[in-house]
């Protein structure tokens, strides 16, 4: 199964979409090494178009075919909870932990976010610290701040 990779430009840097005919296997952040390929699978091209629309402010949700990846049930539940966070909203790590039925697992939610292979499409950038701070982000805090600003997110909603 051959992977295809497409670059997507944004104001904060170049993102990459990787996958095959079964779906997107990974979204690379601007700080990660990435090389585009000349042949592209349809799900990868579709995801790249949708990401470009998102960066242009013309898309608020994604309809992307995601490839199945090997992971734990807990991470799958966290990623489903992330996908349910609306555009422009934020949740705290504790709120996501409660949403997946394990209110003491805020740190594990952070680890699941870090392992998320599809940033933006599965919006781990919308999870922030309960005190209103940004928390962490694999792409760096400048990238997380850029994405939250692009969406007009108010950090105060995570402190409730």
Q: Is 20 exposed, middle or buried (0-12, 13-18, 19+ CB in 10 A)?
A: middle
Record the pTM.
Answer: 0.92
What does DSSP say about strands 23-28 and 91-92: parallel, antiparallel, or unpaired? unpaired
128 counts as catalytic: no
Please give the domain boundaries of the chain with CATH numbers for all domains: 4-55 (no CATH), 73-159 (1.10.10.10)
The mean pLDDT of the chain is 93
Torsion-angle region of residue 52: left (phi > 0), alpha (psi -120 to 50) or beta? Answer: alpha
Give backbone dihedrals phi and psi of 19, rounded to 5 degrees, phi first. Answer: 175, -165
- Residue in 108, 124, 143, 150 annotated catalytic: 124
Q: What is the mean pLDDT of residues 67-71?
A: 94
Helix ranges (H only) for 25-140 are 42-55, 73-83, 93-99, 106-115
Q: What is the pLDDT of residues 86-134, one digit of tens each?
A: 999 999 999 999 999 999 999 999 999 999 999 999 999 999 998 878 9
């Amino acid at each position: 199964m051959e992977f295809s990779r497409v670059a997507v430009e944004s104001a904060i840097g170049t993102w990459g979409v990787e996958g095959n005919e079964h779906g997107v296997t990974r979204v690379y952040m601007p700080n990660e090494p990435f090389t585009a390929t000349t042949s592209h699978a349809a799900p990868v091209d579709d995801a790249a178009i949708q990401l470009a629309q998102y960066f242009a402010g013309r898309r608020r949700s994604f309809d992307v075919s995601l490839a199945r990846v090997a992971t734990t049930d807990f991470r799958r539940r966290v990623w489903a909870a992330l996908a349910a966070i609306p555009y422009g909203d934020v949740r705290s790590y504790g709120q996501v932990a409660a949403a997946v039925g394990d209110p003491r697992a805020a740190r594990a939610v952070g680890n699941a976010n870090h392992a998320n292979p599809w940033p933006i499409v599965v919006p781990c950038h919308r999870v922030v610290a309960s005190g209103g701070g940004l928390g962490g982000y694999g792409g760096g805090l400048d990238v997380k701040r850029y994405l939250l600003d692009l969406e007009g997110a108010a950090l105060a909603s995570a402190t409730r």
